Amino acid sequence: MPTQNCDLVLKGSYILTQDDERTLIKEGAVAISGEYISAVGPEADIERNWNAAKTIDCGRSVLLPGLINSHTHVPMTLMRGVADDLPLLDWLHNYMFPIESGLTRELVELGARLGCAEMAASGTTAIFDGYMYEESVGQAVFDSGLKAVLGEGFFKFPSPFFKTAQEAWETIGQLNDRFKECSRIRTAITPHAVFTTDPDQLAESMEVAQKMDLLWQIHAAESEPETKLTLETFGKRPIEILRDYGLLNSRTRIHHCVDVTDEEISLISESGAQVSHNPQSNLKLGSGICPVTRFIAAGVNTGLGTDGAASNNNLDMFDEMRTAALLQKGFLKDPEAMPAGTVLDMATGNGARFLGFEDTGTIKSGFKADIVAVDMDKMHLKPVYNPLSHVVYSAGGQDVCLTVCDGKVIYQNGKHLALDVETISREAEKAVNWALKRLETR
């Protein structure tokens, strides 16, 4: 007879634990108590030891840690497909900014709800976000059952959102207070980019990050035109600006890092800053290819992110993993570059470190129960030699059949248990006319 009680047991044909030994368990099960994993092991052992209030048998499936998206702007789902096939600066200044300057809190929350529904259904359990009206994003994340680091973005002051620095810091303080009781939601200081802020403002924002003990994130070195712009404006490359203004340290999270020199990679490595790799967004905007294998070789912790859905155009981390692996192989003409295990590490444990959610990203006793199941009973996932290979090279977000975050089932077999997707989808269709009107008046 089992001697211990737990709330939930998940069973699957395979468990990719993502622990340090990359342990693969066949015919495995996970016992969950409250928000935490109590035990993981062969199904027979879990059944022998644990008496579960509820059991979900995922059938022919792979269980893996919930995927972690290290860079996104989740409300940008509302702009999915509104402007494609444009270079970064044209896309930003002539399409994104005119639409975004008319956003309301309600529209931001709607976009965030849409993004959360998409992510829950495609196996993502945590995101590092950056946008405006992040309190509304936080509400959507809170309701969805997912996890997020929220970044209230700011540009040069005055902006459509903040007249002064003081106003921005107060809003960030309120955002942090609003969700401080919720362990699933944290805050980060979020200047948009080195070319849309000024260096003194960046330095001040890092002081705020230190005072509030928060992470500090920025887009930097995303493309060669950005480097040209910062050289013309400040006489320095983007990473040199970060160095010279004291912005490279263990709180720093840098998104993109496409146009970087070897010296800049060393600087980032020595500082303890971390990098988010966003291959599909970089490809779609024609920004180039991040030398991510060099960052990894230099010991930089590197996460994987989709960026916003307007430059991707989805939030599917399976899709992103496949791209990340294939891209470096072609770029470096080396099929051994970016093996499947490295890519899955970026989307799980390394992503968890990037977000500062250290107790997630691994299926291991004592870690948070953030677990997804991929249904392997599909023609494009047969036969199975190596489930890790299928997760990175063959599966897509649409193959996810179960998403559990903090021990709660939030998505199962096509059904959302936390979000009202009918209302979200109806309202999202209505937002199309609003966005098109904004572009007419630009």
Selected range binding Zn ion among 100-108, 150-158, 185-193, 302-310, rule: CB under 5 A:
302-310
Task: State the Cα–Cα distance between residues 189 and 430, nearest whole angstrom.
Answer: 32
- With respect to Zn ion, which residue has the nearer C-beta, 218 or 409? 218
Q: Is residue 100 involved in binding Zn ion (CB under 5 A)?
A: no
For Zn ion, the closer CB: 307 or 345: 307
Tell me how far, at minimum, the Cβ of 219 lies from Zn ion, in Å: 5
Residue 299: CB minimum distance to Zn ion, A: 24
Encoded tokens for 164: 């002064």
40/344 Cα distance (integer angstroms):
19
Q: Which residue has the tokens 């973005």?
A: 153
Region from 222-230, 261-269, 299-307, 314-322 binding Zn ion, contact rule CB under 5 A: 299-307
* Cα gap 260→231, rounded to integer Å: 13
Q: Which is nearer to Zn ion, 190 or 269 (CB)?
A: 190
Residue type present at position 112: A
Closest CA to 442 of 98, 209, 205: 98
Q: How far is CA 301 from CA 40, 67, 277, in A?
A: 26, 16, 10
Q: Whole-angstrom Cα distance, residue 176 to residue 174? A: 5
What is the C-alpha separation between 403 and 326, in angstroms, rounded?
Answer: 26
| Residue closer to Zn ion, measured from CB, 22 or 156 | 156
Q: CA dist 117 to 291, 409, 413, 416, Å?
A: 32, 13, 13, 7
Give yes or no for residue 109 binding Zn ion (CB under 5 A).
no
Given the complex with Zn ion, which of 124 and 403 has the nearer CB atom?
124
| Closest distance of CB 378 from Zn ion, Å | 32
Instruction: Tell me how far CA of residue 66 lies from CA of 118, 194, 326, 357, 369, in angstroms.
Output: 14, 32, 22, 12, 9
Q: Cβ closer to Zn ion: 198 or 307? A: 307
User: Whose Cβ is closer to Zn ion: residue 11's or residue 255's?
Assistant: 255
Q: Rounded to the nearest whole angstrom, what is the least distance from the CB of residue 71 to Zn ion in the complex?
A: 6
Alpha carbon separation from 170 to 173, 187, 196, 206, 397 (Å, rounded):
5, 13, 20, 15, 38
Q: Which stretch binds Zn ion (CB under 5 A): 4-12, 37-45, 205-213, 301-309?
A: 301-309
Give the total of residues touching Zn ion (CB under 5 A). Answer: 1
From the CB of 308, what's the least distance to Zn ion, in Å? 6
CB of 205 to Zn ion, least distance (A): 17
307 binds Zn ion, rule: CB under 5 A: yes
Q: How far is the CB of 66 from Zn ion (least distance, A)?
A: 21
Residues that bind Zn ion (CB under 5 A): 307
